[in-house]
Amino acid sequence: MKHKKYGSTRRSTALKLLAGIALLLAFVSMTNMLGLLPVNALRQLEQTTGTGHTRVVCGYHDREAGVWIHLGENDRALLLSAAGLNLYGWWENGGCPKALSADGATMGYYTISSIKRQAKVYYVFGKVPGGCAGVDAVLREAGGMAPDLAMETPCFKTVDGDCYFLCRAAVAYDGNMENYPHYNPTVKALDAAGKVALDETLGDPAVFTSTG
């Protein structure tokens, strides 16, 4: 018996096309083949750094760096990702994993330079187990000649009793490091009881990325 090919109405055609879109989106999203969203960059970095799946603590668009920043965490590490937009969608444009120490604390330091945007952005991120009352971060010039630059805190969250923070500051930059002071971030965090939980000056960044 010859199989009948029934005609489609406009509604059924539209619904089939929408279903096709949904399926394809689900496929590329689950396989991370196409960077549909900036958070895809975090997922790629989880694989390439070996941290494994992380929960997103926070994310925002950093105008001066020209990337989307995400901070992810799991029981092994903190992961900072930078996402840039290209032909394949949102793709990882650098990032910094930081293993947790035995007591669950950690702090990472990362910079992004953009000659196109004439800016160098410093990031400091970390975890204080048991919570913290606040974080104070500044960029301190290595020679002590320039005044400290305060770092803003686009992310400060408490998740399951632990405190996560992300601080950043941007300085002017034209690609020639000799023209600018060399900064190191100094970070102080107080725990929930008001005692100093973190007090550190960070040296060279773990990873350096130059965009554009």
Partner 1 sequence: MEKADFLSALAVPMENASPRELAGVQTELGDHIADHAADLEAAGWSAADAEAAAVAAMGDPAEVGEALNREFSRFWGAVSRWAAIALILLIVAAFLPVCYSCVDAAQSLAWRINPQKPMARYFKGLDTTPLDIRCDGADGDVVRFAMEAMTTETLPDENGVETEWDAAVIGVCIYDKNPFRCIANYLDEQPVFLTDAPYTNGAERSGGGMSTAWTAIRIYRVPVHRGQKTVTAQYDLFGTYFTVEVPLYWGDGHEA
Partner 2 sequence: MDKNNIEHTNLLALKLLSGEDMYGYQMITELERRSEQIFRMKEGTLYPILKRLENAGAVKSYMAEMSGRTRKYYHITSSGLSLLKTEEARWAEYARGVDAVLGGAKNLA
Residue count, binding to partner 2 (CB under 8 A): 7
Candidate ranges 6-14, 25-33, 107-115, 136-144; the one touching partner 2 (CB under 8 A): 6-14
DSSP string over 146-208: SPPEEPEEEEEEEETTEEEEEEEEEEE--S-GGGS--EEEEEEEEETTSSEEEEEE--S-SEE
Contacting partner 1 (CB under 8 A), which of 37, 44, 118, 129? 44
- C-alpha triplet 132, 135, 138: angle, nearest 5°: 165
Measured from the CB atom, the residue of 24 and 159 that comes closer to partner 1 is: 24
Smallest separation (angstroms) from partner 2 to the CB of 13: 12
118 torsion bin: left (phi>0), alpha (psi -120 to 50), beta (else): left
| Exposure of 73 in the CB half-sphere (CA atoms within 13 A) | 24
Choosing among partner 1, partner 2, none, which partner's interface includes residue 193 (Cβ < 5 to 8 Å by kind)? none
- Side chain identity at 167, as an amino acid letter? C
Task: List the one residue out of 142, 146, 150 whose CA is nearest residue 201.
Answer: 142
Choosing among partner 1, partner 2, none, which partner's interface includes residue 4 (Cβ < 5 to 8 Å by kind)? partner 2
* Bridge-based pairing state of the strands 149-150 and 207-211: unpaired
Q: Does 97 bind partner 1 (CB under 8 A)?
A: yes
Candidate ranges 41-49, 58-66, 115-123, 184-192; the one touching partner 1 (CB under 8 A): 41-49
Residue 124: burial class (beta carbons within 10 Å; 0-12, 13-18, 19+): buried
- Structure-token match 């489609």, residue found: 8
Q: Does 4 bind partner 2 (CB under 8 A)?
A: yes
Candidate ranges 2-10, 69-77, 151-159, 185-193; the one touching partner 2 (CB under 8 A): 2-10
Measured from the CB atom, the residue of 10 and 195 that comes closer to partner 2 is: 10
Site pattern 8..27 for partner 2 (x: CB under 8 A): -xxx----------------
Smallest separation (angstroms) from partner 1 to the CB of 97: 7
- Note the residues at the interface with partner 2 (CB under 8 A): 4-7, 9-11
